[in-house]
Structure 1
């Protein structure tokens, strides 16, 4: 696998200047996304089920994979017994691949940062990996994720180090807490999101309980 090509694809999505550019970049990348991210040692879709399993009982209600991409997390969660998983993504091409994994009960085209097509409190938990990063979803997308999560449910997501401070994530965290919408439960240490490439690319997983 050509690591240079994989890194070039990564750079393209990180530097997208607007949602249309990001959508176009993922449309072009979709067919080779799985193999190229594997060559980089991309860990997040395979780690997030550990946090989901820690807080969400099997059969406890529907889950949302927010920014599911090609659906790499779906089969992992299905293997753990979770059978009611929805997904959203901005890319038709990525959603088509996710659909082929036969792990999702509902797949919809939507973008974090805008309105989401589910009712208040619909999900037992929402999770998201690799989406709150450069050129992708804004911190404001967390308001909608909190809205569609039921009371007592959990929001579980990663944030890239390079956007955490400048992207206003702590301000959104604190704002939702002041409004009585959620409370912090866990935050991981900063850790690598690629086992092979980009050793300085760090993320942190956050877990909040919705109130």
Structure 2
């Protein structure tokens, strides 16, 4: 960590026990989020672009950044040739920053874990990073992400190691596959979410193709 203020902000986010607490934590952190996470070496918003580029052809249709935060991923995917990107986040304050960054065609305020405001099969791919972690979106969020992804499209996301089993993610992966909703394409090795600090914050990336 780079200081007590950084530790307090990150701890508030991880300690949130309800959606209301999480919304308040991100609202309080919004203005300092980019500077503070950059100092920690937070790499997930940029690393996710590699998996999107590997699996999703350019020009296939709209993509959704589910849990886009301040909109760090959008401009980098634009640089790789993806122009039709929408963003979703719980925090209106974070979305204001994403809007100013200019990497998204549309931004929507909504919570993962509940119904999402898109028709079935709207997106060619959905990606999400840093969202499936302690105190954040539940594994049940994947049901809606699959629903709004078109058949043949991809759901690409990271999961923190400490919630992979305890949060029911492994079980949800298997259930969706057993129901014929998706099939597994790739599972990354475990890697660090922060390149500079927080060496114990470890994640994996997962890619599934919707059936």
TM-score bracket for the superposition, by shorter chain length: over 0.9
Aligned partner of residue 139 in structure 2, secondary structure: coil
Question: Which residue in the other structure is 2:179 paired with?
Answer: 179
TM-score (norm 1): 0.98
Q: C-alpha root-mean-square deviation of aligned residues, in Å? A: 0.9
Structure 2's unaligned 5+ residue stretches are none
TM-score (norm 2): 0.98
Q: Residues of 2 paired with 1:41 and 1:4: CA distance?
A: 17
Equivalent residues in 2 for 1:23-102, closer than 5 Å: 23-102=23-102
Q: Cα distance, 1:2 vs. partner?
A: 4.1
Question: Which residue in the other structure is 1:198 paired with?
Answer: 198
Q: Cα distance, 1:7 vs. partner?
A: 2.2
Aligned partner of residue 64 in structure 1, secondary structure: strand
Q: Any idea what the Cα deviations from partners look like across 1:20-68, whole Å, max 9, x if unmatched? A: 0100010010001000000110010010000000011111110000000
Q: Any idea what the Cα deviations from partners look like across 1:134-172, whole Å, max 9, x if unmatched? A: 000000000000000000000000000111110000110
Q: Residues of 1 paired with 2:58 and 2:174: CA distance?
A: 30
Q: Cα distance, 1:4 vs. partner?
A: 2.9
Equivalent residues in 2 for 1:112-127, closer than 5 Å: 112-127=112-127
Please list every run of at least 4 consecutive aligned residues from structure 1 whose deviation after the TM superposition is greater than 4 angstroms.
none
Aligned partner of residue 200 in structure 1, secondary structure: coil
Structure 1's unaligned 5+ residue stretches are none
